[in-house]
Structure 1
Amino acid sequence: MNFRLSRCRSSVPRARAVLRAKLGEWRAGHGTAEDSELVLSELVTNALRVPAPGDRLVGVRIVCRGRGKLLRLEVSDAGAGRPEVQRPSEMDAAGRGLLLVETLAHRWGVDERQAGIGKTVWAELVAPGIDPAPAEMDVAAVTVRPGQSVRVWGTWRTVHSVRSERYASGGLFVVIGLDDGPALRLHAAEPVTVRTGEAIAAGAPRDIESQEQPTAGPEVTS
């Protein structure tokens, strides 16, 4: 999953909410969810503090590498420099963010962004029991939504549009536009196989550098 956040204070709870929803779909345990939310909060907070042009968004990527393997959290920003773990004293009120990441994560690091300016700070957490594979189920065609994946002619296609129309006799049918191939024209109640637990996306993501204006909330893709 990839999404982007505007450079404002409210982006931290937004990032946590998106991660919480995704981990719920993946049936993550309470401990994994709690630790990963703390880690992502610190990574996003640090990215928002880095000096960068005001129209540069913060990119977030959430990846699970197989059942019982690793949960990887990546946060990209357009700022210079590399974050370093601080060792604050008991009297210091700040500076513990990366120390917390280092404590909770299996490992973490910093990579230069291959396209554009800035860097990606990542952390991997051990995540036993997580299953990132979306389940499949049959639903009525009228309930399909843009952004979902449907199985058509033995392959998966992404839905980009859905509209309802009526037959001359008064019955309802649905026209489902796909990312590839002809549209589907189905009776409203006809079953369609979809992948469950998928975020509904408005379009493909773009690089942080190409964003002209910050958005008010996360732009999500799966």
Structure 2
Amino acid sequence: MGEPREVNFRLSRRRSSVPRARALLHSVLGDWGAGPDAVETGELVLSELVTNAMRVRVPRDRLVGVRIAWLMEDGLLRLEVSDAGDGKPEVRTPGGDETGGRGLLLVEALAHRWGCEERACGIGKTVWVELKAPDLVPEHDGTEIAAVAVRPGQCVRVWGTWRTVRSVSTERSASGGGRTIVLELDEGPALRIDATAPLTVRDADVSSLRRGGEDTLG
């Protein structure tokens, strides 16, 4: 396999973690140059994996780990979700009157390949899925740093494009277990992201600083 480019983050065991995982994946794949089909498929698969991990019967303080890796030489996107639970997920065919139970059927239909393995360190398991993503393009422009290190005046890569950061503030996360960084951008809504989550940044060019005005420079 080719050497992967990857990001890792952890999620608390709450419903809001599923859309948060999708948002982070969307941002990461936008930075990596993925097309809309790869993004849509990745979001569907990751949603199912995280949802299943949240349903595992373990103490609520046990976090869910997520790894997003791009296997460049193989043209594959690898998604991994780890939890502290026992057992392995099994694909089943629900009855016609059942409203759930089809998540792994969807994963199996979309995946190039997938599987489950014991965690190398610690208890629990990791469910992994590899998706074909031939349209990923190397992103050489910018540096990947934790969200907490972003500063006003820098540009961040979000939603598949570059935005200039106007201001940075901090909020306590809803779970009380960490910090949320709030980035006010030159366009679009504010970005709220976990302090440890990765963002691709670069210094703002002169023209963007001029357009931003005094508040960006200050």
| Matched length | 162
Distance 1:90-1:146 versus aligned 2 partners, 3 A rule: closer
Contact in 1 for aligned 2:11/2:17 (Cα 8 Å): yes
Which amino acid letter does the alignment assign opposite residue 197 of structure 2? V
**Quick one: which amino acid aligns to residue 59 of structure 1?**
G
Q: Structure 1 length normalisation: TM-score?
A: 0.64
Q: Give 1:129 shift.
A: 1.5
Q: Is the 8 A contact 1:5 1:215 kept in 2?
A: no
Judged with a 3 Å threshold, the aligned counterparts in structure 2 of structure 1 residues 146 and 136 are, in CA distance, closer, same or farther, namely closer
* Partners of 1:50 and 1:79 within 8 A in 2: yes
Ranked by relative contact order (alpha carbons within 8 Å, sequence separation 6 or more), the top structure is: 1
Q: TM-score, normalised by structure 2?
A: 0.65
Contact 2:31 2:139 in 1 (8 A): no
Matched, 1:30 2:36: yes
In structure 1, the partner of 2:64 is 58
Q: How does 1:67-216 map to 2 (within 5 A)?
A: 69-136=75-142, 147=146, 197=157, 214-215=177-178
Identity %: 55
Partner of 1:220: 197
Structure 2: distance between partners of 1:14 and 1:95 = 22
* Match in the other structure for 1:179: none
**1:78-100: CA deviation from partner (whole Å, max 9, x where unpaired):** 01111100111222111001110
Per the TM alignment, residue 27 of structure 1 is displaced from its structure 2 partner at its CA by: 1.6
Letter in 2 for 1:88: P
Aligned equivalents of 1:22, 1:136: Cα separation in 2: 13
Deviations 1:99-126 (A, max 9, x none): 1000011111001001000000000000
* Deviation at residue 131 of structure 1 after TM alignment: 2.2
Shift of 1:57: 0.3
The structure with the largest helix share of the pair is 2
- Larger CA Rg, structure 1 vs 2: 1
Instruction: List per-residue Cα deviations over 1:32-69 (Å, max 9, x = no partner).
Output: 11111000000000000001111110000000011670
* Structure 1 consecutive aligned stretches of length 4 or more whose deviation exceeds 2 Å: 131-134, 145-148, 159-162, 194-198, 213-219
The one-letter code of the counterpart of 2:10 is: R
Aligned-partner residue type, residue 77 of structure 2: L
